Structure formats: structure tokens, C-alpha cells
Amino acid sequence: MTQETSFDLLIVGGGPGGTTAAERAAAAGLRVALVERGPLGGTCLNAGCIPSKALLHAAKLYSQVKQGRHFGVLADNLRFDVTLATARQERIIHTLREGLQSQMARRGVQVFSGAAQFIDARRVRLGETILSGQASILALGAAPRRLAIPGADLPHVIDTSQALRLEHLPERVVIVGSDVLVSVFASILAMLGCEVSVVHPQAALLPMLEAEQVSALRQELRAVDFLLGAQPLEVLPDAMRVLHEGAERLLPCDAVLVCDGRTPNVDGLAELGLDVHEGRVVVDEFMRINLPQVYAVGDLNGLSMWAHSAMRMGEVAVNHLLGRPDRLRTHALPTVIYAYPELASVGLTEAQARAAGRQVQTAKLPMSANGRFLTENEGKRGVCKVVVDGPSQQLLGVHLMGGNASEMIFGFAAMLEDEFRVADVQQVLFAHPTIGEIVKDALHELR
Ligand SMILES: Cc1cc2nc3c(=O)[nH]c(=O)nc-3n(C[C@H](O)[C@H](O)[C@H](O)COP(=O)(O)OP(=O)(O)OC[C@H]3O[C@@H](n4cnc5c(N)ncnc54)[C@H](O)[C@@H]3O)c2cc1C
């Protein structure tokens, strides 16, 4: 017999968007149901942010030890065992997933396993059970875009989830697509000794970043053959046929990694009355959709397909539901490319600021001007660029490559949020020696 249980809030999707919303709502005293068809943690924990960082770290360690002679670290017979590295990844995922499960239990979130079938936007069927909410948050995520050329179904054509669970390393890999993850996987696989080519249909690599960051990254990844503006034509059992600069090329390979972005999981949602435009659920700054008491967060609304954005959107939706003042502000959303070296940016690039009609001042410094960077990096490149509004001296953008750029960027995001001027940044005490100091130094070089 079908049984209906109602909650204050029904959340569908247990990735970073859904679980953050669930935690915040339950902490505020709401009765929350969370439905997840796969493992808790979504793409981020199980096939994205976490396993890719574990593999990146392993690859970095391997490449640093290979070059350890510069640091006085000598090792013989060094080799990389991908199965051990993957086993470590799985242990990390397991630990974090258990932590997430107990966090949900501690907060009193009722977690239901299974694929929710929508009856309407606030009611789902799960086998014999119907779950409903006074309000609902949809956090259904996105699925990898597939390659649509002959040979795309050959067994050596893999997606990013499979690339994070390799049983052996390919000797030669072609990465196809224009997603931000292209550089991440190119960096990891090149460090592990694979021969890497990138077939990148768009002409510009990482167009949202500063040109200086991208060119420094290209120099660091000089072993990678980037074919920008190239079209994939066909996958063959041992090669890929592509069109580049008007000529056909055959790229020998034993694996093809498709890295062409993800499309929001909107199937069936328009039929429920949701406003779906260009494959995304349309939301306002409070994450509301066109139906009352229904929100869409994370990759599903396509506004910013990062885990940190999904979490923040989950918070914004819950705050709106609770009547607390909050909205999604996007001007200080960090962009991070977790390659080695790392790139991290927040705010406007010089070109974006000029296009917005600002009179800008900029400054850039190579990371080699920074003491801490030099102690930790041998022969590596890096760059820092700052963008400032000339008349007001307000900080508009900070763009870094090198060091733990991903760890530093939140501080500069906070400065942007608080509308810091150059003089305000100059009064902040940066610990010495740290790589972050380079931003303060760069601000002395403005012109
Ligand atoms: C390889 C890779 C690396 C990445 N690295 C980073 C990174 O370092 N930093 C970063 O910020 N972002 C990263 N991302 C992006 C990040 O993973 C996503 O932006 C984030 O997971 C989006 O969160 P979400 O909650 O919107 O969706 P998801 O994490 O995709 O979660 C959606 C969940 O909804 C569930 N679901 C869908 N439909 C139903 C249904 N009908 N019933 C029940 N459950 C359902 C799915 O099973 C899924 O678990 C990476 C992505 C990939 C692929």
C-alpha cells in the first residue's frame, strides 16, 4: 500500500548542493527528507573534486620526487602504481562519505536511498513511498557530455569518472573537449608519464582566466600537445582522427578521455511545469524557480558548475526559505584550476574590467619574485596579476598561478566582497614568508 510522508523540506539529490541545504535546514529546526539514488556526496565526493585531488596529489608527489635531486632528495627505481593510488582514493571517499552520513544523522536529516520519481515539484515517489515537502530543493546535478562521433563507443573511450579509476595507465592519451577539467587531467596524466594530446574544439584555452595565467600554464604543460580549435572526427582502435588548422591528423593513442563539460539533469522537469531554458533550470538570485516554494541549486541551474557554488546556493535557498536575508552574489566567486601548478582567480580580469568600462590599473609579478615560492619550487613558473579600478583604487581582481593558489584565493575573495581598496590591502598583515605576500607586493607595482 502506498504511504505518504510529509516534511517541511524535501531535497532531491545528495551532492554538495543537496547535503549542504539539508544540514543548514535541519540545523534551523526544519524536518528534512533527502533523497539520493547513488552514494551520498554526489559527483563531487564520488567522481569529482575529491578523487581528482587525491590523484593530483599522488601525481605531484611522484613528479616532485622524480625531480628531487634539486632538493637533495634522491630516489632509485621510482615508479608509480596507479592501483595503489586509486585504492587510497577509495579509502578517502569512504571516510568522507561515512562522515557525511553521520553528519546527516546528527542533524536529524532523514536520508532515503533510491531514484526519486517526480509526481510534481514537491512530491516524489520512491517505490511504495511518497515523500512530500511544504517546500522542495532540487539538487539533481549534471551528467558528462558524451562524444558524438564514429567510434565514440569503443571501450578505450572513457569519461572523467573512469579516468579516476584506471587499472593501468595509458601510454598515449588524447583528451577531447573544452572543459576546464582538460588542463587538470592533462597535468595529472603528463606528470604520471603519459604522452598527452588535447583536442580542444574551442580556440581559446580557459578563456575566463588572465592571458598571463594561461600562457604560464601552457609553458608548464609544454610536454602536452594542445590542438586548439581542433575538431574530433573519429575514434579508431589505436588512434584518433582530427581536423586541425585545415588538415587531418591522426593522433595515435590507447585511451581517449572525453572532457567536454556536463549537462544539467533536467530530463522530465519541463513536463512538471519548471521553466527550463537552454538545458538549465531557470532560477533567480534566491535560487527560486517559477513554481512556489521550489528551489533549484548546484549544477542543475548551470549558473556556476562548481561544488563551492552548489554549497553556497544550498545555503542561499535555505536562508530564503527561512526568511533570512541572503542572495547569491557572483562577483567574488573563485575559479580554480587544480592542475600543477594551481591557478586561482577571483573577480574581473583586465579584459573584463575594460569591457565593463572601468579605467583600470594592473600589475603583475612572476612568482620567482617571491621567496617562499622559490624555496618550494624548482624551475617552476608562476604569476600574480592584480586588477584595480583606477579612480577609486578598489580591488577588482586577483589572478594567481603557483603555490597553493586554491588555498589563498578565499582571502582575496573576502577582500573583493568587502570592497577593499589598495590602501586596505596594504594594511593587512601577511605572514612572511608566504606566497600570498606576492599580491601585496604586486599592488606596489600598479600602473
Ligand atoms: C572530475 C571532476 C572534478 C571536479 N572537481 C571539482 C573541484 O575540484 N572543485 C569544484 O568546486 N568542483 C569540481 N567539480 C564539479 C563538482 O563536482 C560539481 O559542480 C558538484 O558536484 C555539483 O554539485 P550538485 O550538488 O549540484 O550535483 P552533484 O554532485 O552531481 O549531485 C547531484 C546528485 O543528485 C542525484 N540525483 C539526480 N537525480 C536524482 C533522482 N531522481 N533521485 C535521487 N537522486 C538523484 C545524483 O545521484 C547525484 O548524487 C568536478 C567535477 C568533475 C566531474
Per-residue pLDDT of the chain (447 residues; tens, 9 = 90+): 788 999 999 999 999 999 999 999 999 999 999 999 999 999 999 999 999 999 999 999 999 999 999 999 999 999 999 999 999 999 999 999 999 999 999 999 999 999 999 999 999 999 999 999 999 999 999 999 999 999 999 999 999 999 999 999 999 999 999 999 999 999 999 999 999 999 999 999 999 999 999 999 999 999 999 999 999 999 999 999 999 999 999 999 999 999 999 999 999 999 999 999 999 999 999 999 999 999 999 999 999 999 999 999 999 999 999 999 999 999 999 999 999 999 999 999 999 999 999 999 999 999 999 999 999 998 889 999 999 999 999 999 999 999 999 999 999 999 999 999 999 999 999 999 999 999 999 999 998
Instruction: For 132-173, write each residue's pLDDT tens digit.
Output: 999 999 999 999 999 999 999 999 999 999 999 999 999 999
Lining ligand 1 with CB less than 6 A are 12-18, 35-38, 42-44, 47-49, 52, 115-116, 139-142, 160, 181, 265, 298-300, 305-308, 310, 338
Catalytic residues: 432
Q: Phi and psi at residue 353, in whole multiples of 5°?
A: -65, -45
pTM of the entire structure? 0.96
Q: Could you write out the DSSP letters of every residue in 88-144? A: HHHHHHHHHHHHHHHHHHHHT-EEEES--EEEETTEEEETTEEEEEEEEEE---EEE
* Nearest to 205, CA basis, from 177, 185, 232: 177
151 CA distance to ligand 1 middle (Å): 27
Q: 120-133 burial, b if ≥16 CB within 10 A, otherwise e?
A: ebbbbbbeeebbbb
**What are the residue ranges of helices labelled H in 276-349?**
307-321
- Whether 274 and 281 have beta carbons less than 8 Å apart is answered as yes
Q: Interhelix angle for 16-27 vs 82-107, to 10°? A: 30
Q: What is the helix (H) or strand (E) element at residue 280, kind and residue range?
A: strand 280-281
Q: How many CA atoms lie within 13 A of 279 on its CB side?
A: 10
Give the β-pairing of 129-138 and 123-126: antiparallel
pLDDT in tens, 349-385: 999 999 999 999 999 999 999 999 999 998 889 999 9
**Residue nearest atom 51 of ligand 1, based on CA coordinates:** 48
Question: Which atom of ligand 1 is nearest the CA belonging to 305?
Answer: 19
Is the CB of residue 287 less than 8 Å from the CB of residue 320? yes
Among residues 319, 372, 369, 151, the alpha carbon closest in space to that of 251 is found at 151
